[in-house]
Each structure stands twice: as C-alpha cells, then as structure tokens.
A and B are shown apart, each in its own frame.
Chain A
C-alpha cells in the first residue's frame, strides 16, 4: 500500500524534496501549491523539479540537506540527520522540533 501510493502520487520524500514540502504543510498548515513554490524558491530550483530524484539529489547534496544512499553511491561526508535538519530549518526559515533549531 505505501509503495503503491508513493509511486502513483507521492513526492518521493528524501529521494527528492517531498519531506521539505511535507514540513511546511505539517508545521505551518501551508497548502500544497504555496508550499511547493516556497520550497522551490529556497532551493533555487523549479517547482517541476521538486519530485525529480536526479535534480534533487544533487541539490540536497550541495546544500547538505540529507539524502538517500545506496551501495554503489555512498556519502560518508554527508550530514547526520540532526545536522541535515538544522540545515533544512535554516533554509526554510522553519523551527524543527527536536533538532536544536
């Protein structure tokens, strides 16, 4: 069930920018269209790129926002989840609970 929904209609989470848009919806009650524009502007990307894993993988790496890794593509110097969340909080001007922001 979660896989079917993720493939059919989801924003790809940490593989793209789905978690960033989700944060604005959950924490601020921001509607989807507004949240997508907000995140895209902060990332310096297009709205159409937000669910694109190739584009967002590079952007997340450059901005140190955390990203997925696989056996063939490891990132030992990427930030820890806590550090990534502090970077996300600063980028989105959003307090993230429990991340020391």
Chain B
C-alpha cells in the first residue's frame, strides 16, 4: 500500500495523499493554468522537484543555503505586539524581516488621507527606531469612491442596469480622485521618512483601479526618483469593470501577471508583486502548480525585482488567517526554487 503524506487543502485543512496522488494534483494544477491562460505548463523537472517538496513527511521545508531571497511585507504587525511601531521593531529585531510596512487598520489610501498627519508621526517614529527599510502601504481601493461611500456613481449598480456609459464615466471620475489621494498620501509619508510606498492589491476594483495605481506611480516616480515603489496585485487577471481603459497603449482589462508587470515597470515601480488566488477546495500542491505556471512568464520580462505574493489566500498559501507552517514553508520554497525570483 502506497504511503500517504499529510498535506493541505486551500482552506488549510489537512488531507493525506499518496505520492501518486500528489503528482496528479501538480499536473492538474499546471494544466489548469496553462489551459486558462494559454501558457506552457511547468516542465517535467520542475514538477518532479515540486513533488519532492510535497511528498515529504517533514513538518517544514526550506530553500537551499545561499538561495535566500528578500522578504517584503504588507501590514507588518498584529495588535498583540503593542503599538504599531513596537511591532515593526519586533519584526526587525526578533522576526528577521528584511523590510517591513507601517500601515493603518483601515487599509485604504482614501481613508488614510483623513488621518495622514497621524501616519506621518508614526512614520517619523518608525524611521528613528528602525534600521531596516520601512515602507508605508495601503490599497488603491477604488470602490470607496462610489456611492454611498464616495461621490461617484456606483458602477456595480449601474452595470446591471445596462447603463454602461454611466458606469464607465463614474469609474473615470473615481480614477482622477483616487490618483490625487494616493499621490497626496504617498508624498506625505515620503516627507515623513518612508523608504517606499506599497500599493497593495492593485486592480482589486478592476481595470480602473489598476489604471489609478499606474497613474499615481507615474507621478510619484517623476517627482521622487529615489522613492521605493512596490505594486502588489490583487489577482491573476485584471477584471474589465470598465473594459476600455488603456495605459500607454496597453488595454488593462484581461492582463495576466507578465503583462501586468510590463505596465507596472513602465509606470516606474521598483518592485512588482504578482498575485494568484487560491482555490480553497483544491490542494495546496494543485494551487502552487497553478500559481507558478501563471507567474513564471514574469521572470522573462522582469527588469525590476519580482516579489511573489505568498500571503493568506495567494501564491498557494491556504486561505486561512492561521495557515500551517508546513504549507507556508512549502509554498515559500516552491516559489523560490521554481521561479528564481527576487523576493516574496
């Protein structure tokens, strides 16, 4: 009888699979991505290496010594660590973080604008107490600009009414407002001593959300040549909630990770974070193979560092706030070993 290995589903729950079953999961995962995105599947040696990572009883898995990569974080710290800046210091002194991120619990540039002075003061304190790079992060969060939370029409209501032109006009108006808010907040945090800015889950609201991010990055790069600018995506496909928006001649709707990276590079970011969402009903092995297949084309076109998103529910990591280390470490190692990327 073939030996079974404890592995995980995409929701983090444990399942026991044989090596043969894990091989099938990996092959199905890469084929699913290849078919959906019209990409080549992972090659046989890559799948064999992934199989060795997953068909193991070890509680933890890690890259080879010498293959370590830079870690960047969104939202560093939890309430149990005390103040936000104390949490960052613990990331530096106790958790071996290569960099960290100051953030507000209402993780949206629009929300932060109203308390930006408080955030500047916290950044000032962080820069005085930490040696590792501290960036500030929030989400572009375009939906906040639609009624009833914002001044623009609600395209989620207009689209089902077939008021396409009104929905598009509302999004275009929201883009203008969001760009101004992101530039305002980013500039304020840069003046307070941030090492960089993170635009997290870019494109979560669709192609207009992504366009707003790119336009904000473009303006910040022009104003601050030395600013670190990280753009982390929200998913493996930019949704066409507008459908006609372009950035420098590239239509944004429907972009996959490698094409997302190309426009992010053009805008002037210094780090790109591809994100591939997890299917919670499939295994981590299936999800990792799918994610790597979708992210792999990034490496051929990247002129800037690529930091794969490998947090809760992305990059194969289970969609659970308390993801088990056996799954997280395997995802971490798999991304580095297969993609040879610059960070996570």
Residues of A within 8 A of B (CB): 1-15, 18-19, 21-23, 25-32, 35, 47-48, 50-51, 65-66, 68-69, 81-82, 84-85, 88, 95-99
Shortest A51–chain B CB gap in Å is: 4
Are A22 and B132 touching (Cβ within 8 A)? Answer: yes
Interface size of B in residues (CB-CB distance below 8 Å): 64
Bound state CA distance, A68 and B132, in angstroms?
Answer: 11
14 examples of A-B residue contacts, CB within 8 angstroms: A2-B97, A8-B63, A8-B333, A9-B67, A14-B93, A22-B343, A25-B70, A26-B99, A29-B269, A29-B303, A32-B342, A32-B343, A51-B65, A51-B68
With A5-B328, A7-B329: A22-B70 Cβ-Cβ less than 8 Å:
yes
B128 interface residue, CB < 8 Å from A?
yes
Tell me if B271 and A29 are in contact (CB < 8 A): yes
Complex Cα gap A51–B71 (Å): 12
The complex places the Cα of A88 from the Cα of B130 at a distance, in Å, of 13
Question: Which residues B61-80 have CB closer than 8 A to chain A?
Answer: 61-63, 65-73, 76
Interface of B: prevailing SS: loop
Q: Are B76 and A25 in contact (CB under 8 A)?
A: no
Task: From the candidates A3, A32, A50, A81, name the one contacting B95 in the complex (CB within 8 A).
Answer: A3
The A contact surface, by secondary structure, is: helix
| CB-contact partner of B195 in A14, A35, A65, A97, under 8 A | A97
Q: How far is the CB of B316 from chain A (nearest CB, A)?
A: 12
B278-303 to A contact mask, C-beta < 8 Å, 1/0: 00000000000000000000000011
Contact A13 to B98, CB < 8 A, known contacts A26-B133, A27-B196 = yes
Residues of B within 8 A of A48 (CB): 65-66
